[in-house]
Amino acid sequence: MRLSANSQLPSAPKTAGSLYRPPLVSVCNRTKGVVADLRVGVHGLSAPEAGLVRALVVLSSHGGADFRWRFAADGPYDALIVGAAVDAAAPPARFLGWLGDEGTAAPGGMHLLARPLQAAGLEAWLRGLERAISAGAAAPAPVPAPPPESTPAPGPARMLRRWPPEALLRNDPRHLRAAALLARRGLAAHALADQSGLGEHGCRAFLRALDEQGLLGPPAAGSSAVFAPGIASALRARLQP
Partner 1 sequence: MSDLRIVFTGSPGAGKSTAIAALSEARPVITPVAGKAWPAGMDLGQILLDDGRQVRLLGSPGQRGFDFAWCAVARGALGLVILVDNTRPDPLADLGLHLDGFSEELTDLPCVIGVGRTDECSAPSLDEYSDFLAQQGLVLPVLKVDVRQREDVLQLMDLLLLQLETMAGREGEAHA
Footprint of partner 1 (CB under 8 A): 159-166, 171, 173, 176-177, 179-181, 183-185, 195, 223-239, 241
CA 91 to chain centre: 14
The residue among 11 and 171 lying less far from partner 1, judged by its C-beta, is 171
Residue 85 CB, nearest approach to partner 1 (Å): 26
Please give the Cα distance from 185 to 155 (Å, whole number): 15
The residue among 13 and 214 lying less far from partner 1, judged by its C-beta, is 214
Please give the Cα distance from 66 to 36 (Å, whole number): 9
The residue among 132 and 225 lying less far from partner 1, judged by its C-beta, is 225
Residue 186 CB, nearest approach to partner 1 (Å): 10
Identity at 212, one-letter amino acid code: E
Residue 169 CB, nearest approach to partner 1 (Å): 8
DSSP state of 109: G
Residue 167 CB, nearest approach to partner 1 (Å): 8
Cite the DSSP H helix spans in the chain: 28-31, 47-63, 119-135, 166-169, 173-184, 189-196, 199-212, 231-238
Q: Are 175 and 215 in contact (CB under 8 A)?
A: no
The residue among 99 and 182 lying less far from partner 1, judged by its C-beta, is 182
